[in-house]
Amino acid sequence: MITKKTPEEIEILKEAGSILARILKEVAKEIKPSVTTLHLDDRAMELAEEFGVEPVLLGYHPGFADRPYPASLCVSVNNCVQHGIPSEDVVLQEGDTVNIDMSIGHKGMIVDSGITVPCGEISAEDRKLLAVTEEARAIGIKQAVPGNHIGDISAAIQEFVESKGFSVVEVLCGHGVGYAVHEEPTIPNFGTKGTGPLIEVGHVYAIEPIVNAGGPDVYFDDEGDGYSVYTADESMSAHFEHTVAITENGPLILTK
Ligand code: MG
């Protein structure tokens, strides 16, 4: 079932979203060579405490994992697509691309957002990957209007990304959010216009293109930390995510 949030709940989500945007902006400032990804998590925890919000990924137990998530932030570097666990062993280097992804709880409501940030100077090809992924998010969000279908978001993202020579990851998707970290509907980054659930006022979605510079295939690192997802061909990957409420006037971006 796709839940509908009340206008009052959307107001709370807006508050939560602006706090999350500030946290990500602050954490992004820490991204530089020689910093560990664990440091980024420490900073995110510190900021969550400062703002009085709950870092809901900490202890979250998704179906695919055999243990709860041990951090407040996902930090996925370069060819790590998603769910990188912050670690003191991962030291950022000049030229890395660093995806930080966080969900917070505020007054009983949950928002989810992520950005991919350059560490120092990155290559022109990587800059293009980041720019295309961020633009794909905007293009997907534009389709999130009442009366459209989820497939309209999916198709718009896929069409744009592939037109730029990149590919979308198919096993990781956007999702409903608000009362829980992951709610219905699933929002794939590939699909067909006019298909899938109807988009209605009061829905709240996490729209998150996950884009690979190479092929779309990925693998879960079951032999390693049990969470990290990597590109199969070791190509670079990027991710940008906003939480968006569907209003009569169209999509309202909450996490900015
Ligand atoms: Mg998400």
How many angstroms is it from 174 CA to the middle of ligand 1?
6
Q: Mark out the alpha helices in 30-123 (DSSP H runs).
A: 37-51
Of 79, 96, 81, 95, nearest to 37 by C-alpha is 96
pLDDT in tens, 220-245: 998 889 999 999 999 999 999 999 99
pLDDT in tens, 65-81: 999 999 999 999 999 99
Mean pLDDT of the chain: 97
Contact 16, 22 (CB under 8 A): no
Rounded to whole angstroms, the Cα distance separating 15 from 12 reads 5
Question: By residue range, what is the domain housing residue 174?
Answer: 7-253
Q: Mark out the alpha helices in 114-214 (DSSP H runs).
A: 124-142, 150-163
Per-residue model confidence (pLDDT) at position 64: 87
How many angstroms is it from 218 CA to the middle of ligand 1?
17
How many angstroms is it from 114 CA to the middle of ligand 1?
8
Q: How many domains does the chain have?
A: 1
Q: What CATH number is attached to the domain comprising 161?
A: 3.90.230.10
Rounded to whole angstroms, the Cα distance separating 45 from 241 reads 20
> 2 lies in a domain?
no
Rounded to whole angstroms, the Cα distance separating 34 from 215 reads 30
How many angstroms is it from 101 CA to the middle of ligand 1?
8
pLDDT in tens, 20-79: 999 999 999 999 999 999 999 999 999 999 999 999 999 999 988 999 999 999 999 999
> 91 lies in a domain?
yes
> 1 lies in a domain?
no
> Within a 10 A sphere around the Cβ of 98, how many other Cβ atoms?
26
How many angstroms is it from 125 CA to the middle of ligand 1?
25
Contact 168, 216 (CB under 8 A): yes
Cis peptide before 185 (omega within 30 of 0): yes
Is the pLDDT at 87 greater than 90? The verdict is yes
How many angstroms is it from 173 CA to the middle of ligand 1?
8
> 14 lies in a domain?
yes
How many angstroms is it from 211 CA to the middle of ligand 1?
14
> 152 lies in a domain?
yes
Contact 254, 17 (CB under 8 A): yes
How many angstroms is it from 153 CA to the middle of ligand 1?
15
How many angstroms is it from 134 CA to the middle of ligand 1?
15
Contact 37, 87 (CB under 8 A): yes
Contact 234, 78 (CB under 8 A): no
> 12 lies in a domain?
yes
Report angle CA 254, 82, 121 to the nearest 5 degrees. Answer: 85
> 171 lies in a domain?
yes
Q: Which amino acid is at 78?
A: N
pLDDT in tens, 144-187: 999 999 999 999 999 999 999 999 999 999 999 999 999 999 99
